Structure 1
Amino acid sequence: MAVNLNLQTSECRETRLGSITGYHGTLKDMARQGCEGCLKNSKRDFSTGCSCSHSHCLDQLAGLEGAVIIDHSPVGCSAGLCGYNRSLSSSFYESKNADQKRNLKIFSTNIKEQDTVFGASEKLRSTIQFAYDRHHPKHMYVVSSCVSAIIGEDACSVAEEMSEELGVPIGYASSEGINSKIWASGFDAYCHAVSKALLKEPSEKKDIVTYVGFYPKGRDHIEWMFERFGFKMLFLTGGSNLDDFAKASESKAVFGQCGAQSSYLCGALEQRFGVKYFQSHLPYGGIGVERFLREFGAYFGKEDIAEEIIKEEKENYAFRLAKVKKKLQGKKVFIALGASFAYEYTRMCKELGMEVVHTVAYHYDPHLDNETPDKVAAASDVYELDQDVPTSVNDGQNMETMITLKHNLPDIVISRAHRASVWAIKQGITAMEVRIGLPMVGYRGLVEFGELVIKTLANTNFEKKFGARYIAPFTKAYLESEPFSFIKEAQNG
């Protein structure tokens, strides 16, 4: 489980963490198997298309201030990144570093058929030179793809040679989609590249807490809490720059938005520089923030401050929370989200009095990237809160999610990305795309989420009419099949 930055590439999650993409059963059973080291992956007879780790590596790197990316791939691997331009606005990142007018700077080497025969190293070299001459960036990254890996391109050596020649850091990120079925492995490739290229030895340790995530949006939910402890926050997110990464090793603590996106970089900071990685309790919802603050306060000997903040948070939102609970009591919810957030929202929905009929996670990590026995957040909920819920794991298998949804018929579906909400609405079920990360923090995050659910359920007319008129393009046999009939017996690997 240790991060090995001596390697050219990050190991895939299946090998490094024992992560899985196939399971159905209960959260309690899955978490306990994971903690005991006996959790096995289930494979499928039938699989639909899912997200690719390559694009997730590209979008994380492209969001960094002043970065230029060289995608060593056919041009189609880069084309899908056009939509990420919106993520570079300062309003999205809420970062003083973000330049509202800048666009993604991704150059494709446009590997073609003849390059797969004769090689494309010189093409890569010339693309790096062209990108440098055009933008004179502060840092660059070469990202490999399935095709460049299959033909055996040594892109890492080219990146190192060009870095020395041009005098700018050029990181290498190996994010071939064929190496992992888990799209979050692309986040690991990003973290591996920036950990090697940008992290520096600290001159001193300071009262800083580093947050690793997609963006610092919602920072006002939590910054005031750390200020009460006497800590400042540092954000390693989209919009962060070279100085931010250089200062990260000076931190005394680090936590991430979730294990999927943040584990590798948080683990590298802990392993290399002794920055305490808080991973077992994420500060989402009321129960989450209480456990997180108590753990943080105990580690730094400031338990009294933790209790003061908790008391203040509970009192400030007690009235609104009571109103929300009264309106949501007994509502049935179906959750389909990424690995960590699926079970964070499971806990938050239960905290609001809702009944979670099923939770789909897009993968599950039984361990994270550090060398301690600390449990992952979902397992902490099982062991500490006795939380349990029917659950399944799939890598964005929408057809499987659709049939599972059809068998549960909730009042609302909570999802984000991977289009689970689309299939809910087609069946006449109300769906809501939710926020992730810092906007979920504390009792404020819990109340605002609950109020949004109430508002969404206030008018379900569109979904009901749409579902009544929708004709599914699937056979009757498929629609009547059992949700997990395509899953084979669990096996290693």
Structure 2
Amino acid sequence: MNKQIPDTIRDKHPGFADVQVGSSGELREKAKAHCLKNAHRTFEQGIQCVQVNSMNALVSLQDTVMVIHSPLGCSGCASFGAIDRLNVYKHHRGRDNAPDSHVISTALGEKEVILGGEKRLHETIDEAVKRYNPKIVFILASCASSIIGDDIDAVAEQKEKEYKAKGKEIIFAPVHCEGFKSRNHATGYDLALATLQNYVIRDAHPPKQKGLINLFATHSLSWADQQEMKRMLNAIGLDANILPYNATYEDIMKIPAAEYNISVCQIFADEYIKFLSEKYGTPYAVTNMPIGTRSTNRWLRAIAALAGKEEEAEAFIKAESDAVREEVARIKRKTDGLRACLTAGTGRGFAAATLIGDYGMKLLCMHTPYYDEAYIDDFKRLEELHGTDFIVNIADMQPYEQVNLLKKYKPDVFIGMSNWVSRLGIPSFHILDSKRPTFGYRGVLYLGRKIEDALDNNNFNKNLSNYSKNAYREEWYKKDAFSYLQLPEEN
């Protein structure tokens, strides 16, 4: 079939880098001049996989089954991450008995790798349809199935015709999300959304629904954050269709009917909503996550500008800001002037860096997976808040660099995955939360109290620091944190 959206990779974005380090001001000036070059790590602890984020984007869709054409290890990622998160999500919705996700693997072995795995794929699809009777079957490619040349497109087309002849209308949708396809794991989101358009929505042109806004959000958003975003949008007269997590077939088919589109952060669905603008004329906005007052204000104002709801948005912003001002001021008396380091995904990291500004804290260093020229303005806003000298480590994971840097910097607070930072005795907390809202003005208070709690109750981390071994040998901490980084030569 002719795809409306071809497979693309984010590595080709202008100024893309996933290996670099420097001060924010230095990197931003290089990116602005189109001369920010990728460095090279001679040692990496691993990076995230494109296929995993395609799984994350699609696994919760109702009335679907995901066939992962891979060895068993790849499907294990779906169980470990996506399905576990979905079960937590269902619990917090009060819907423990809601239908489970359906994931089945072809479990490729040596025989299939040598002789081809398409026969195994046909058999697995038939078993999936027999067990679950889905509306949509997603067929996910893997490194192994792509290396041996299995044609998942041809299999999908053949199965759709086969079941149609039996009187069953089932959509078979291939997803080319091989792990080696891109070093930017957010490419997996793009490929999943392109599949929804190419194989599910296709050329549908439903009438526009007044006040409907598509809100494209990653799987890492909790149910509480989704409800908080809906509350804020309802307050200015808009109805949110949150996608794709836990969406129904009907929700997906409403995508072209929306009057407006917004992505919850800079690297999720930004490419897709540009396509929707071109195909359906739907206006869109791409902003950072609504974490902290500054980012939430900016998020709301961007949406209000799309919908002509500026007056309603300003009234809501004033009321919500007034409601949290006293408590923010109380917490700020404890946190003002403290130094913080953080690690988070790109969109969440930008927003978290503005949150600590709400509480008078200064940013020492920031670990973010990617950089490209689209983020220049975001870093400029952070520099207006924190100065130009904070260190930006562009690293997809690589905790060995992060823990080395934190041991040297000794920040007052660390925001991010704290399992290894805790051994340094640093007060720490994770900005992700599966139960309570971290978004919006309510999220400002909740995260502020988490900062306060981390500072007031740090005995556990202190004991770990005193009585447990550090994550790495002492020799590593004596070296430069970026010893394994080979920076490109400047022209």
Q: Same fold (TM over 0.5)?
A: yes
- The alpha-carbon deviation at position 23 of structure 1 amounts to 1.4
- What amino acid maps onto 2:67 in structure 1? I
- Of 176, 179, 182, which residue of structure 1 is paired with 2:181? 179
What is aligned with 1:209?
213
- Of 406, 421, 425, which residue of structure 2 is paired with 1:428? 425
Mapped pair 1:147 → 2:144: yes
- Of 290, 297, 300, which residue of structure 2 is paired with 1:290? 297
Check 1:476–1:327 CA distance in 2 against 1; reply closer, same or farther (3 A cut). Answer: closer
- What amino acid maps onto 2:415 in structure 1? I
CA distance in 2, matches of 1:244, 1:474: 48
CA distance in 1, matches of 2:297, 2:146: 46
Bigger drift between 181-190 and 324-333 goes to 181-190
The secondary structure found in structure 2 opposite 1:440 is: coil
- What amino acid maps onto 2:138 in structure 1? Y
- Of 157, 169, 172, which residue of structure 2 is paired with 1:170? 172
Check 1:36–1:94 CA distance in 2 against 1; reply closer, same or farther (3 A cut). Answer: farther
- The alpha-carbon deviation at position 131 of structure 1 amounts to 0.7
What is aligned with 1:397?
398
Does the 8 Å CA contact 2:332/2:360 hold for their aligned counterparts? yes
Query: Normalization by structure 2: what TM-score?
Result: 0.89
- Of 225, 235, 250, which residue of structure 2 is paired with 1:218? 225
- The alpha-carbon deviation at position 475 of structure 1 amounts to 4.0
What is aligned with 1:122?
119
- What amino acid maps onto 1:190 in structure 2? A
What is aligned with 1:362?
369
Check 1:237–1:92 CA distance in 2 against 1; reply closer, same or farther (3 A cut). Answer: farther
- The alpha-carbon deviation at position 141 of structure 1 amounts to 0.3
The secondary structure found in structure 1 opposite 2:97 is: coil
Bigger drift between 436-445 and 131-140 goes to 436-445
The secondary structure found in structure 2 opposite 1:115 is: helix
Check 1:100–1:381 CA distance in 2 against 1; reply closer, same or farther (3 A cut). Answer: farther
Gaps of 5+ in 2: 164-168
- Of 74, 79, 85, which residue of structure 2 is paired with 1:77? 74
Mapped pair 1:378 → 2:378: yes
Does the 8 Å CA contact 1:93/1:217 hold for their aligned counterparts? no
- The alpha-carbon deviation at position 474 of structure 1 amounts to 3.8
- What amino acid maps onto 1:395 in structure 2? D
What is aligned with 2:310?
303
Mapped pair 1:350 → 2:357: yes
Bigger drift between 455-464 and 294-303 goes to 294-303
Mapped pair 1:49 → 2:46: yes
What is aligned with 1:66?
63
Mapped pair 1:34 → 2:3: no
What is aligned with 1:102?
99
The total of aligned residue pairs comes to 476
CA distance in 1, matches of 2:438, 2:409: 26
Does the 8 Å CA contact 2:425/2:462 hold for their aligned counterparts? yes
CA distance in 2, matches of 1:237, 1:408: 40
What is aligned with 1:86?
84
Does the 8 Å CA contact 1:87/1:93 hold for their aligned counterparts? no
The secondary structure found in structure 2 opposite 1:327 is: helix
Give 1:187-336 correspondences, 5 Å limit.
187-199=189-201, 200-213=204-217, 214=219, 215=221, 216-336=223-343
CA distance in 2, matches of 1:115, 1:465: 51
CA distance in 1, matches of 2:33, 2:256: 32
Does the 8 Å CA contact 1:42/1:491 hold for their aligned counterparts? no
CA distance in 2, matches of 1:165, 1:376: 50
- What amino acid maps onto 1:481 in structure 2? K
- The alpha-carbon deviation at position 463 of structure 1 amounts to 0.7
- The alpha-carbon deviation at position 380 of structure 1 amounts to 5.9
Does the 8 Å CA contact 2:288/2:351 hold for their aligned counterparts? no
- Of 101, 113, 122, which residue of structure 1 is paired with 2:110? 113
Structure 1: which 4+ aligned runs deviate by more than 4 Å? 90-96, 382-387
- The alpha-carbon deviation at position 5 of structure 1 amounts to 4.9
- The alpha-carbon deviation at position 207 of structure 1 amounts to 1.2
Does the 8 Å CA contact 1:282/1:288 hold for their aligned counterparts? yes
Does the 8 Å CA contact 1:72/1:145 hold for their aligned counterparts? yes
Superimposed CA distance per residue, residues 233-273 of structure 1 (whole angstroms, 9 cap, x where no aligned partner): 11113211111011121112222222333324333333322
What is aligned with 1:479?
477
What is aligned with 1:370?
none
Identity percentage over the alignment? Answer: 24
